[in-house]
Amino acid sequence: MKKTEDMIEDIGERCPHVARDDGHYDDAPADWWTSGFWPGMLWIVYDRTRIERFRAAAWEGDAKLERLFLEPNDFYHDVGFQFLPTAAAKHMITGDAEGKRRALAAAVFLAGRYNPAGRFIRAWNGADHTGWAIIDCCMNLSLLFWASRESGDPRFAHIAKAHADTVLDHFLRPDGSSRHIAVFDPLTGRFLRADGGQGFGPDSAWSRGQAWALYGLSNIYKHTGESKYLEAALRSAYHFLACLPEDSIPLWDFRLPDPDGQPRDTSAAAIAASGLLELAALTPAPIGRTFREGAVRILASLTERHSALDRDGYHALLTGGTGHVPENKNIHVSLIYGDYFYLEAIAKLTGWERRFF
Ligand code: GLY
């Protein structure tokens, strides 16, 4: 909380994504998928402390995002990451009607990316991506479930479940590992191929993708109560835990042919920790205890080995994040989503009960 307060002045109006050795976050375009995480951190701390400074700093986050819809923009399926911890969070915490309206508008946009042939939500923009779906989208489905609850209109949830079923059929492997990208023929819906995306290859298991899978599938079970999603969440969580090295911080991919010296990804660790706490709350002991203990081990290791909490002037919570190895981008850096999920997981561990996702 103290560190987040220090970051308010340094970050100012910027949209943080990556911080490097100088310890200052950059300013990413506001339509970039990470733009909801900093306001989301502020909303969590405000919710825990009710200190006005955090509310004031978070307040404009959703209005800033919505304005971009009126200009040429590059929003895509990640509006869940962007509008849940901003607009929806604001509505949940303060009752603000504009926050609800903006989050519902984002849900309409997300639902509009659904491709009935193949039953998937389209991931990225561009003519060459019409048939692409990615595992990360499991997390965005929470926006659709929220929208169905808030509006009383089941169509959002129908779309979310259809996409979730496609994930079970085409992303999750029998051993619980997940591929990053599945490519479909958008006209017929036929599955064409897997793609490595941000992982090592089509048959590998990108660790952050595995974290999105275990957390997203846990949420889908939470929102639907359907046991097939719980079974899938359990499988992906066991796989994640089984692949961790001794220090509980994953390498950037779990299936590297030559893992020695390869970068770890603290953001995958933080996302998984928060997801494991969610899954622990959804499953009775002793299974639930396994996930909670796994999450605590990860968080303890992050705090001991990769936290910037004692580094004055370094305006991020975690170091050691890995953005995109195949493109050689953002390796050994701080990532705002690593910070968000680390904070979110610690908030859960210390009794925070509200959920944005
Ligand atoms: N959703 C993109 C990523 O995890 O890098």
pLDDT digits (tens, 9 = 90+) for 37-77: 999 999 999 999 999 999 999 999 999 999 999 999 999 99
pLDDT band at 230 (very low <50, low <70, confident <90, very high): very high
Residue 136 CB less than 6 A away from ligand 1: yes
Q: Whose CA is nearest to atom 2 of ligand 1?
A: 136
pLDDT > 70: percent of the chain: 100
Instruction: At 52, list the tokens.
Output: 């006005």
CA distance 69 to 341: 26
- For residue 33, give the ligand 1 atom closest to its CA: 1
Ligand 1 mean position to 136 CA, how many Å? 7
Residue 22's nearest CA partner among 357, 319, 252 is 319
pTM above 0.75, yes or no: yes
Report pLDDT digits (tens) over 266-297. 999 999 999 999 999 999 999 999 999 999 99
Residue 169's nearest CA partner among 227, 234, 229, 80 is 229
pLDDT at 56: 98
Instruction: At 170, list the tokens.
Output: 């085409």
Residue 339 CB less than 6 A away from ligand 1: no
pLDDT at 36: 98
pLDDT at 250: 98
pLDDT at 308: 96
pLDDT band at 247 (very low <50, low <70, confident <90, very high): very high
The catalytic residue among 31, 47, 62, 78 is 78
Residue 208 CB less than 6 A away from ligand 1: yes
Told to judge if 136 belongs to the known catalytic residues of this protein, a careful annotator would answer yes
pLDDT at 176: 98
- For residue 208, give the ligand 1 atom closest to its CA: 4
List b or e across 302-314, with b for residues whose CB sees 16 or more CB atoms inside 10 angstroms.
Answer: beebbbbeeeeeb
Ligand 1 mean position to 37 CA, how many Å? 12
Told to judge if 78 belongs to the known catalytic residues of this protein, a careful annotator would answer yes
What is the three-class DSSP state of 253?
strand
- For residue 337, give the ligand 1 atom closest to its CA: 4
The residue behind tokens 């390869």 is: 262
* CA 81 to each of CA 118, 169, 189, 214: distance values in angstroms, whole numbers, following the listed order: 23, 24, 26, 16
Pick the CATH number of 2-349 from 1.10.167.10, 1.50.10.10, 2.30.40.10, 3.40.1190.20: 1.50.10.10
Ligand 1 mean position to 152 CA, how many Å? 30
Average pLDDT of span 320-328: 98
pLDDT band at 262 (very low <50, low <70, confident <90, very high): very high
Average pLDDT of span 113-118: 98
Return the HEC string of 210-243: HHHHHHHHHHHHHHHCCHHHHHHHHHHHHHHHHH
Average pLDDT of span 17-24: 95
DSSP 295-316: HHHHHHHHHHHHB-TT-TT---
pLDDT at 137: 98
Mean pLDDT, all residues of the chain:
97
- For residue 134, give the ligand 1 atom closest to its CA: 1
Ligand 1 mean position to 272 CA, how many Å? 13
> How many other CB atoms are there within 10 angstroms of residue 328's CB atom?
8
Cβ atoms 102, 96 nearer than 8 A? no
Average pLDDT of span 315-329: 98
The catalytic residue among 31, 47, 62, 136 is 136
pLDDT at 115: 98
Instruction: At 73, list the tokens.
Output: 């923009």
pLDDT at 297: 98
pLDDT > 90: percent of the chain: 99
pLDDT at 6: 94
> How many other CB atoms are there within 10 angstroms of residue 188's CB atom?
11
